Amino acid sequence: MKQLTLSNVFFRADLVVGLMLTVLLTSFTSNAFAQNYPTHPIKIVVPYPPGAVGDIMIRLVTQGLSDKYKQGFVIENKAGGGGMAAAEGVARSPADGYTLLFNGPNHVTNLALYKKVPYDPVNDFTPISYVAYSQTVLVVHPNTGIKTVQQLVDAAKSKPMSLNYGSSGNGTGSALKMQMLMRVTGMQMTHITYRGSSQGIVAQAAGEIDTSFASTPVVLEFIRSGKLTPLMVNGTQRYPGLPDVPTSKELGLQDSDVEVWFGLFGPKNTPPAIVKMLSEDIQKVLSDPAVAEKFSTVGLTIVGSNPTQFANFVKSETMRWPKLIREFGIKAE
């Protein structure tokens, strides 16, 4: 047994005191930084085009944050490439709270779709808050003559690959939903991709594609104007704006559901005090009845998690989706 000397005792004491001072200094610096934050506009990179559900959602949130912080928010729409360029740019940005990422399912699904992803979705980011998820609607163009999900399934199975469906690209929520539905029902359809959900819905309304899954904020006006026909709403509850449209659960298709979630991230090592401040203030914005009403009206379900809850969710999604994508043989196009 090694003899404990007086010099060893003093060395260990100095080591402990040093570590304690480091922790205290780091905490003090982080808290001081947060007290002055933000001193200039905050940029949020969104890997979706203007008008897409993710874009709509973060703009609703930043309106409330701008009022509180007396600072502006710059929304940078950087669509395409499965959102990898947007995510990589934020991952490589200074961890000072002034460049953030608002992302969805493709944040984790890209791991299975591409051979090389230039970032780690868990270790290269600091989760701030799971903001909300979107209810989606399965729609068809009226020219198809299809009125129900069963009619869609029958038409697609009678002539495989004759019908087509649109999405924002492989790995996105809209694509995964349709691919899951095809897997469950045995349908085979041709995939056509667009740079964003809003672009795809405009194309579908013009008759370029037969069917798609779209978030309620993007598709509602097209349904109300008769340019698209709704067949099914995902989830367990009917959407109040489309009370006559059945849910996936009612039709026995709940196994095809994919939750289209959206959350806010910072680069790794973003100061904890800033992360805490942003998360708590986002929760306050989302708890405002006026904001909650705006989310509900367009079919968005508020979550408003804290950083730990969101981090655990992202880790679980990272384990879940790449495995399913590989099992289904889904590949990037």
Q: Can you give the pLDDT at residue 159? A: 96
> Cα–chain-centroid distance for residue 255?
20
Is a pLDDT exceeding 80 seen at residue 1?
A: no
Task: Decide whether 42-133+259-328 matches 136-256 in CATH topology.
Answer: yes
CATH fold of the domain at 136-256 = D-Maltodextrin-Binding Protein; domain 2 (3.40.190)
Domain boundaries, the chain: 42-133+259-328, 136-256
Hey, how many other C-beta atoms are within 10 angstroms of the C-beta on 240? 9
Q: Residue 12 — very low, low, confident or very high, per pLDDT cuts 50/70/90?
A: low
User: What's the pLDDT score for residue 22?
Assistant: 53
The answer to whether 210 and 164 have CB atoms below 8 angstroms apart is yes
Section 154-174 average pLDDT: 90
* 70, 85, 106, 108 from 59: Cα distances, Å: 16, 21, 20, 23
Question: Out of 3.40.50.300, 3.40.50.740, 3.40.190.150, 3.40.1390.20, which CATH number does the structure's domain 42-133+259-328 have?
Answer: 3.40.190.150
For the segment 55-77, the average pLDDT, to the nearest whole number, is 96
Which residue type sits at 68?
K
- 138 compared with 220, residue with greater pLDDT: 138
pLDDT(203) > 50: yes
- Rounded to an integer, what distance in angstroms lies between the CA atom of residue 121 and that of residue 108? 6
Tell whether the model's pLDDT for residue 25 goes beyond 60. Answer: no
Given this model, what pLDDT does residue 199 score? 87
Helix or strand or coil: residue 224? Answer: helix
Amino acid present at 305 = S
- Looking at the chain, the whole-number percentage of residues with pLDDT higher than 70 is 89
Indicate whether 83 pLDDT > 70: yes
Cα separation of the two ends of the chain: 64
Helices (H), the chain: 6-36, 53-69, 84-91, 106-113, 149-158, 173-185, 197-205, 216-224, 272-287, 289-297, 307-328
pLDDT in the model for residue 10: 46
How does pLDDT run across 124-160, given as a tens digit for each residue?
999 999 999 988 999 999 999 999 999 999 999 999 9
pLDDT at residue 11 greater than cutoff 50: no
The pLDDT-based confidence of 15 (bands split at 50, 70, 90) is: low
CA dihedral of 273, 277, 280, 284, whole degrees rounded to 10: 170
pTM over 0.95: no
Over 70: is that where the pLDDT of 36 sits? yes
Taking the CA atoms of residue 284, residue 196, residue 113 and residue 115 in that order, the dihedral angle to the nearest 10 degrees is: -100
- Given this model, what pLDDT does residue 333 score? 59
For residue 20, what pLDDT is reported? 55
Q: For 229, phi and psi rounded to 5 degrees?
A: -110, 120
Instruction: Answer for the pair 137, 242: CB distance below 8 angstroms, yes or no.
Output: yes
CA distance 253 to 180: 10
**CA pair distance 157, 174, nearest whole angstrom:** 21
